[in-house]
Amino acid sequence: MTFISCDDIKTVQIWTDHPEFALYGEYYNTMQNRYKVSVRYMEFPIAELNRNNSPDIIIASRMKNSSTQSNFKSLNNIFGSKKISRNIFNQRLLADGRIDRNHYLLPVSYNIPALIFSKDREQEISNQFTIDFSEIKESSLKFNTDSRGSYTRMGFSPLWNNKFLLTAAFLLGASFTEGEPLAWDSNALDQSMLFISNWTKEINTSSQMEEDFTFKYFYESPERLIQSGRILFSYMESSELFLLGDDTADTLDFRWIMEKEQIPITEDTVYLGIPKWSKSQDAARAFIMWFFKFENQRLLLEYSRLNRIDEKIFGINGGFSSLNPVTEQIYPLFYPELLGRMPPSEYFVLPNTLPANWTLLKERVVLPYLNDRARSSEEIYSLERRLADWIRLNR
């Protein structure tokens, strides 16, 4: 290794909402001595970005919005025969970071939703990789057991996890997207919540019956309830699924949720970009070139395991790698249950471009509305009014 004086070492400033990236920066700094990476955690890095306050790289969830083109540099020049091949990326994710013909954002990691269930029931599921709403309902109805007007076993309730409600709304066309600040297809959203409401009535009698069952038995985790035979399914995203302890994971299996031949990528996909006001763009590009190499991502996974980060964080940056060969060939070495279990990426469907404050809107406005709407057949406080009230209170 050629030694370079401290004065000649260029520092790459990274802002991220994923603290595990500090470990990746630390590893990069040990692998070469030309550049130094300095990582700063920020809850909402995009909100802090301006001409006078800019890092060299931002790595965060929900980066694409109406200001992307004005805030970030084109990354087209990192592609080429001796650089990074476009072909190694998940093509749908890669295209999502492109505006016109320019790549402003590169995908880093992503997650997809699943249902978990006991391995003892693996043969009862028709598809080796996926499960759709019809099969969830049919299997749940067969599993349900009631005694004296209350359920002692319940296959699945859509109301057990608000994220499932959002997944269903997304797959049934609600089309949440960036607006002022949020827009959606009102008719499709109504129909998706009607679908959930009817699901409850057809399979579990009523939302009150579901609530009674939940109150009585959900003092244990869903995983334990599956193991004990109390419930059949539980919703879980891949970022959580592969962090289950060995004592739990050994008894559980999973299927990816797919409806109408679509598997939804969750809205927390991580992207990377170079702000236009970066002061060390050459050094930033050097780090990006290093990070998106197949071998280096394998080394990062090994480094995470060595430091036991893999016990808290799944994969690269909390998800599947955006590099197809890494997810398909390297992940099964670290997560054996993934061997041969990744669905073809042509089934993947991404959410629309969402507002920068989507996390807050989702937690404080959208999910509470979906939960209320799915539980009640009566008119409730509308999403439009909830959104207007939230905006007024947060000006």
| 86 plus 124 within the same structural domain | no
pLDDT score of 81: 63
Per-residue pLDDT, 203: 96
Whether residues 235 and 203 share a domain: the answer is yes
Task: Give the model's pLDDT for residue 3.
Answer: 42
Whether residues 255 and 286 share a domain: the answer is: no
Residue 349 placed within a domain: no
Looking at 342, 365, 385, which one is the last position of a domain? 342
Residue 100 lies in a domain: yes
Q: Decide if 353 contacts 178 (C-beta within 8 A).
A: yes
Nearest alpha-carbon partner for 362 in 291, 266, 273, 285: 266
| 163 and 257 together in one domain | yes
pLDDT for the residue numbered 93: 94
What is the residue-level pLDDT of the chain in tens, covering all 395 positions? 444 445 567 899 999 999 999 999 999 999 988 999 999 999 888 888 887 789 999 999 888 888 888 899 999 989 876 778 899 999 999 999 999 889 999 999 999 999 999 999 989 999 989 999 999 999 999 999 999 889 999 999 999 999 999 999 999 999 999 998 999 999 999 999 999 999 999 999 999 999 999 999 999 999 999 999 999 999 999 999 999 987 787 899 999 999 999 999 999 999 999 999 998 999 999 999 999 999 999 999 999 999 998 889 999 999 999 999 999 999 999 999 999 888 888 899 999 999 888 888 999 999 999 999 988 767 788 999 999 999 998 87
Question: Starting from the edge strand earliest in sequence, which strands make up the sheet with 10-16, in order?
Answer: 35-41, 10-16, 57-61, 270-273, 106-110, 320-321
- DSSP letter string over 165-189? HHHHHHHTT---EESSSEE--HHHH
Instruction: Report if residue 236 sits inside a domain.
Output: yes
How does 45-67 read in b/e, with b if 16+ C-beta sit within 10 Å? bbeebeeeebbbbbbbbbbbbee
Which residue in 97, 119, 99, 62 sits closest to 266, CA to CA? Answer: 62
Q: Is the Cα torsion angle 133, 138, 139, 140 positive or negative in sign? A: positive
Handedness of CA 235, 237, 242, 245 (dihedral sign): negative
Q: What is the number of domains present in the chain?
A: 2
98 and 135 assigned to the same domain? no
Pair (242, 324) in one structural domain: no
- Tell me, yes or no, whether 219 lies in a domain: yes
For residues 35 and 100, membership in a common domain is answered with yes
CB 61 within 8 A of CB 17: yes
Same domain for 240 and 309, yes or no, is no
Residue 127 belongs to domain with CATH number: 3.40.190.10
The residue from 317, 342, 367 where one domain ends is 342
Task: Looking at the structure, tell me whether residues 386 and 241 fall in a common domain.
Answer: yes
Q: Does residue 152 belong to any structural domain of this protein?
A: yes
pLDDT recorded at residue 1 = 44
Task: Please indicate, yes or no, if residue 348 is contained in any of the structural domains.
Answer: no
Examine the domain organization and report whether 316 and 384 are in the same domain: no
Residue 192: inside a domain:
yes
Q: What is the reported pTM?
A: 0.92
Both 187 and 317 in a single domain?
Answer: no
Quick one: 239 and 104 in the same domain?
A: no
Spatial distance between the Cα atoms of 287 and 36, rounded to a whole number of angstroms:
9
Dig out the tokens for 104 from the structure: 């402003």
Say which amino acid occupies 342: M
Where is 255: in which H helix or E strand? strand 252-257
Rounded distance between C-alpha atoms, residue 259 and residue 168, angstroms: 9
Q: Give pLDDT, residue 8.
A: 66
How many Cβ atoms from other residues are within 10 Å of residue 82's Cβ? 5
Full residue range of the structural domain in which residue 295 is found? 6-110+267-342
pLDDT for 5: 46
63 in a structural domain: yes
